[in-house]
Structure 1
């Protein structure tokens, strides 16, 4: 079995080459803009160009690699990588799905990209390093009255938006120009880099997905991949924050111990009471304070450094220095012990050494202590370093935000990569297989439709190299074999039907051969039945009944309408004179005998398809429309339609065929007689249908052994 789309696809190598070119284009144009001190970045030209060429995923990859390279030369550039990822997604959407004109599409994409860069860029810049921006933005504020921070930010966003319109307009314009410089054939070839089958148009993809249900596989895969990637991202960030927090906590603990140990070495324990007595007027007081500030400024986590003397009713601060935002108590005043530090109060009162990190009751403050001794080795005061855990939480939040800004672009790339891979390798092939299988089933045994659907299924050409391809090949093989099986079955059915028809005609011919007055009656009546049925269908009569199958069954069983004559004596059948009343009654019994014969045949064969209509015609073809016929005196539409048609065909053949003592009529005479009996002996609709097909009747007569017009 051969497939249409099996040649090796080299388009991905072309895409890689153009992607590298796009990265170089981004870096070079950004470097040029910086060197020329232009108020723009020009760092997304290659991103948009590759997005136009190969889709969203290659564009995102180019944007992220560009951000990583530029981050080497401009630290912090990676924080803005999410913006370039969003622009790549928007560019892909406008290029692939927007139905606007080229000019409107260009304007919409420029304005949208400028708005995204302005809003996200301002907020990220404000969070990372605060406002204002570059000097050319600050110049705008000379002409604008800004009263608060919110208004200030709005003005910045508006100013940056105006600059970005120019920047993104140039970038998108250059990307569009580079895109159209590539030959269309090459562009189309590269755009099909991901297909594992014959490429589909966007409309064909939508049609393939229209057969999906609420539990379609592409929805399940989307939910599964999104959930998995988001959970992994959250778990990784949580683990990262946890380790970061613990590492910082350990680092700050070591730092807290180190600073109090160093601080204790700068304070002379023998001068303590001088500091208590004279305070900041004591000799060397400010020198100690300055050294404490130097120690504090060289730390990252410690926010407060102090010396205090423990008393029985509280503690007395000698020195205190703190970082910005830290509240300091008054020196030289005894402050009662805090209840939240009650666990350690006795240690200080007894002037004992504490070798562990201490926490308050809610663990919002971590502090370390180191004793200061006099020349006699007695503990006279303690050096205390405070680490506020709230500051550590703020550091963790900043770290989390920076991780999010750097990591979010890569998360989006991973998600789109997973969706793209699943689409090309799984979702679209399965949708195509499902659609092809449904169309094959909808063929309903039509051989031409079956063969066409087999060709369509083979033309899909799935070559994923996995179980999906194996499934596809199996379905192709199955459809091909089923189409051949249906063809063989139809041939066998046609052969069987021809055999049945031949047997029926042979059997009817045996019956007819006993009647020396009948010539070609079986063939003629069958032909007239077909003509009348076609006329009824053409005029729209009994449309609910006249299916192709029904008409075929009636025509095929028509030769058996006189099968009951086989039980009538030859002397009656072949009598040339008129029958007596007694002989007439015996002759009428051929309808009863015919019904019995056909019912017995139905019982033996256990099939009532065409034999059912054969029974109806054998039993009721002498019934009249007005109810004066035999054997049961049925009237109107109570008489089976096949019997009404057979009765008219039988009468027509008897009128125009020479039979024994009776001279045949011309066709015109026969038609006049039939018209006169319409609504009496015959169904008016059947008569009307016959009159519409007189030319077909003449054709049958011409092919017979007699000809009288």
Structure 2
């Protein structure tokens, strides 16, 4: 309220500035108006509505103090205010050069439109304003008619007038402290104020049909134009009839005076029309457009990508604090409550989903452990190979390799299913699994069958769900992790990129862990020896790209190897 009182006082000072300078020009005999310095200042500092109010009231007050004809030009002052606010929003008054561009526009409004209005008001004759002497001097030369003489005179005077007006406004803007001038912007926020980009979004949000703001504007405009048309038409008919009833007035003269009468009525109405339209738009912005647009923006920005995004979306909606006191406020409260409940539900679902995922991973390792416990040679093989698989996936992504495949979801699926690569061993006899010596050809064929057996186990599990998810990669890993790059592997004899990427990664991880681990039939190889064997297998046993990235990052591989040795030896 304190700030509103300050704004009203300053806007009144702008009206006083308009009237006092205009009266001073008349008193000292200078043929200029200079009655828009306050109007432009109000439009620049306060926005459309204050500028329109100051311009409109200046002419109305001037008409009561001096000449009634001033009220006919209220529409011109209002148009100048609208143009000034438009230019101010686009930063034209931030520098002298930009401000010069506005002068011709103001001159066209004041001199061009004002001249046509004067011409019509005075019945297509010479007006009685400050340009009248210049008009008569041009007419005396005999080269111009009344219209062109009036237009040229008004334009010349108005270019000078508006140039001095703009200069005066720029000086005034420099005098008023920036911190204080910011408080003169007329607002009526019923919510947390929006910044410039948010206001633009709220006003320019794309809709399937006309935006609410445009519909309200059109409704008001159509109603007022209709009222103006009907009122003017009726007034014109009554005026002409009244004029004809006076003796000595011809029909032509009566119609000429009728046209002058219409011009006066329309000029009065134009200023009032723009004033009412600006007021309605201002109220619509703060009571409808901005609150609804802000809710729309907050709702669209509401994301379900992560827990953090969800909380940010909710806080963004709560921070609006819309308090219009009507249905908009009720809608905001309902929407905020709904989103809050939705967030709680999503968090609960996500929590339960995390628990299920954790339980699922636990079950995977339990199943892998059950298989592993039958094979006394493998130790913690499934866990260590899973760790190497994860590292290789990270290295490939960091180096932008296989970027079309290595999505976050793919990496998660491969890491989750890696422990199941040997699940098919559950169908292999304990005698073969734990045989200390070399397997016979027949035994080796049975051992090789664990790949297809693993495929059968996992495909059986896939049939129990509509979304196979990570089980697809689990099937690839179980089936193809013994395939070789040159096509000599098993069970299908695939070669090169025919082998799924996850299986090619597991092939390196599986062999490397087998080399560095102790078995009942062999001692572990040293880390360096195992790396040499992997390197030698590039292009024959292993995908050369995977081997290259694996061996080039030997330090990271060795660090993981040492962590595995330390952890699983306890």
Match of 1:297?
none
Match of 1:19?
11
Match of 2:184?
190
Q: Deviations over 1:187-210 (max 9, x none)?
A: 212314233334344444334555
Q: Does 1:401 align with 2:393?
A: no
Match of 1:595?
455
Q: Does 1:40 align with 2:32?
A: yes
In structure 2, the CA distance between the partners of 1:128 and 1:586, relative to structure 1 (3 Å rule), is: closer
Q: Does 1:83 align with 2:76?
A: yes
SS in structure 1 of the partner of residue 319 of structure 2: helix
How many angstroms apart in 2 are the aligned matches of 1:660 and 1:112? 95
How many angstroms apart in 2 are the aligned matches of 1:234 and 1:702? 92
The count of residues paired between Structure 1 and Structure 2 equals: 564
Match of 2:221?
226
Match of 1:609?
469
Kept after mapping to 1: 8 A contact 2:191/2:322:
yes
Kept after mapping to 2: 8 A contact 1:52/1:179:
no
Kept after mapping to 2: 8 A contact 1:118/1:157:
yes
Matches for 1:142-153 after TM superposition, within 5 Å: 146-150=141-145, 153=147
Kept after mapping to 1: 8 A contact 2:76/2:114:
yes
Matches for 1:293-442 after TM superposition, within 5 Å: 301=245, 303=247, 323=248, 393-440=255-302
Report how far residue 156 of structure 1 moved.
4.5
Matches for 1:434-583 after TM superposition, within 5 Å: 434-440=296-302, 443-583=303-443
Report how far residue 672 of structure 1 moved.
2.0
Give ranges in structure 1 of 5+ residues lacking alignment. 1-8, 253-299, 304-322, 326-387
How many angstroms apart in 2 are the aligned matches of 1:632 and 1:519? 28
Q: Identify the range of structure 1 (201-210 vs 616-625) with the bigger mean alpha-carbon deviation.
A: 201-210
How many angstroms apart in 2 are the aligned matches of 1:670 and 1:138? 107
How many angstroms apart in 2 are the aligned matches of 1:561 and 1:143? 101
Matches for 1:108-123 after TM superposition, within 5 Å: 108-123=101-116
Match of 2:538?
678
Kept after mapping to 2: 8 A contact 1:532/1:693:
no
Q: Which protein has the bigger helix share?
A: 2
Q: Deviations over 1:683-708 (max 9, x none)?
A: 22222232133223222321334899
Q: Deviations over 1:167-194 (max 9, x none)?
A: 4445444444445444433321231423
How many angstroms apart in 2 are the aligned matches of 1:179 and 1:583? 96
CA RMSD across the alignment: 3.1
How many angstroms apart in 2 are the aligned matches of 1:140 and 1:192? 41
How many angstroms apart in 2 are the aligned matches of 1:135 and 1:557? 91
Q: Identify the range of structure 1 (577-586 vs 516-525) with the bigger mean alpha-carbon deviation.
A: 577-586
Kept after mapping to 1: 8 A contact 2:378/2:519:
yes
How many angstroms apart in 1 are the aligned matches of 2:451 and 2:487? 16
Q: Does 1:126 align with 2:119?
A: yes
Q: Identify the range of structure 1 (647-656 vs 198-207) with the bigger mean alpha-carbon deviation.
A: 198-207
Q: Which protein has the bigger strand share?
A: 1
TM-score (norm 2): 0.88
How many angstroms apart in 2 are the aligned matches of 1:135 and 1:539? 79
Report how far residue 525 of structure 1 moved.
0.9
Q: Deviations over 1:550-577 (max 9, x none)?
A: 1111111111111122222222111111
Q: Deviations over 1:32-63 (max 9, x none)?
A: 44444443334333323322331222222222
In structure 2, the CA distance between the partners of 1:593 and 1:105, relative to structure 1 (3 Å rule), is: closer
Report how far residue 521 of structure 1 moved.
0.8
Kept after mapping to 2: 8 A contact 1:229/1:415:
no
Matches for 1:100-115 after TM superposition, within 5 Å: 102-115=95-108
How many angstroms apart in 2 are the aligned matches of 1:235 and 1:302? 25
Match of 1:700?
560
How many angstroms apart in 2 are the aligned matches of 1:622 and 1:656? 18
In structure 2, the CA distance between the partners of 1:660 and 1:422, relative to structure 1 (3 Å rule), is: same
Report how far residue 524 of structure 1 moved.
0.9
Report how far residue 402 of structure 1 moved.
2.0
In structure 2, the CA distance between the partners of 1:502 and 1:240, relative to structure 1 (3 Å rule), is: same
Give ranges in structure 2 of 5+ residues lacking alignment. none
Report how far residue 660 of structure 1 moved.
1.1
Alignment counterpart, residue 67 of structure 2, candidates 74, 94, 97: 74
Kept after mapping to 1: 8 A contact 2:31/2:130:
no
Alignment counterpart, residue 479 of structure 2, candidates 612, 615, 619: 619
TM-score (norm 1): 0.72
Match of 1:361?
none
How many angstroms apart in 2 are the aligned matches of 1:590 and 1:599? 14
In structure 2, the CA distance between the partners of 1:108 and 1:651, relative to structure 1 (3 Å rule), is: closer
SS in structure 2 of the partner of residue 464 of structure 1: coil
Report how far residue 140 of structure 1 moved.
8.4
How many angstroms apart in 1 are the aligned matches of 2:134 and 2:544? 99
How many angstroms apart in 2 are the aligned matches of 1:686 and 1:30? 85
Kept after mapping to 2: 8 A contact 1:12/1:194:
no
SS in structure 2 of the partner of residue 704 of structure 1: helix
Alignment counterpart, residue 95 of structure 1, candidates 88, 99, 109: 88
SS in structure 2 of the partner of residue 604 of structure 1: coil
Kept after mapping to 2: 8 A contact 1:64/1:85:
yes
In structure 2, the CA distance between the partners of 1:600 and 1:230, relative to structure 1 (3 Å rule), is: same
In structure 2, the CA distance between the partners of 1:608 and 1:230, relative to structure 1 (3 Å rule), is: same
In structure 2, the CA distance between the partners of 1:121 and 1:684, relative to structure 1 (3 Å rule), is: closer
SS in structure 2 of the partner of residue 76 of structure 1: helix
Q: Deviations over 1:609-634 (max 9, x none)?
A: 11222222222222222222222322
